[in-house]
Structure 1
């Protein structure tokens, strides 16, 4: 199982953390989501290549958040 760390712009409160958790848990292969609005980081444990960085970024973009590139596994 891999862990991806995404830097997310627009996450400003606990409600955003919950929304991001709900959005990403719908992606096949996502096992765990830990979002922290104070750091802007989202850690995602994935158990499948179906949940790659691009798919996660697309889902977050559709939910109104921006993923900044350059943060990896």
Structure 2
């Protein structure tokens, strides 16, 4: 299990957090997602053989947000 911490820009409300949580949880191998709106930090536990950090980044950007 890999633990990735990502800094996300563009989140303005809890709706953004819910959207990103759903997008990340839908990826194969993701077991846990915790996003803090104030800091913009997402902590994701995932199986690196199924979902890489590049895949996480692409999913975040595909949802309309940017990585810092």
Q: CA deviation at 1:50?
A: 1.9
Q: TM-score, normalised by structure 2?
A: 0.92
2:33 paired with 1:14: no
Structure 1: runs of 5+ lacking an equivalent: 69-73
Structure 2: runs of 5+ lacking an equivalent: none
Q: Deviations over 1:30-49 (max 9, x none)?
A: 00000111000000001242
- Deviant stretches of 4+, over 3 Å: none
Q: CA deviation at 1:14?
A: 1.0
User: What do you get for the CA RMSD once the two structures are aligned?
Assistant: 1.0
- 3-state SS of 1:64 partner: coil
Q: TM-score, normalised by structure 1?
A: 0.86
2:55 paired with 1:55: yes
